[in-house]
Amino acid sequence: MSNQDVKQAEKEREEQQTEAVLPDGDFSLDLIRNELIPELLGEHEEAILYWGGKALARKHPQSSSRDTASFFYRAKWGVLKLVKEKKQQQIFELTGTRHTKDRKSVSLECGFLAEQIQNQTGCLAEAAYEIRRQKPLTYEITVRWDKKDPVDTDSQ
């Protein structure tokens, strides 16, 4: 082996060792979302995550559906797409989530969307989801609001 080959082999070995110690952020996220949170919240998980999503939305307001979709992508919540818009309703499709076959709740995401739409419309909004397809796992999230039910800005 030439001196240059030895140096190249050492460099490759150092790179492999460096890669081995870098944390896997997705693994950490999956551990927290799929194992720790259900353990801590138990039967109240869906409701608490929904309200948690609303709280996150208040801290990270988005001005449009496009901005909200970008936030979802950055947060690794999946790919969000507005597929239908009616007078007092928006329907979104969510794909590419990190959910497993056993852990399919998107209550956090629903709460976040409901609060974003509520801030954008000025009316109380609620969101619900259903699974549209198993492969690839695809959710339909429907956000509804009523113009007769404005947000009480004094309580926020």
DSSP 57-122: HHHS--SSHHHHHHHHHHTTS-EEEEEEEETTEEEEEEES----SS----HHHHHHHHHHHHHHHS
The sign of the dihedral angle between the CA atoms of 55, 56, 60, 66 is negative
Report pLDDT for 153: 66
- The pTM of this model reads 0.80
H or E element that contains 54: helix 45-59
In three-state secondary structure terms, 1 is: coil
pLDDT (0 to 100) of residue 155: 54
The topology (CATH level 3) of 45-155 is Muramoyl-pentapeptide Carboxypeptidase; domain 2 (3.30.1380)
Residue-wise pLDDT for 59-103, tens only, equals 999 999 999 999 999 998 999 999 999 999 999 999 987 777 677
Structure tokens at 133: 């397809």
- How does residue 53 score in pLDDT terms, banded at 50, 70 and 90? very high
pLDDT (mean) for 44-62: 97
Mean pLDDT of the region 109-132: 96
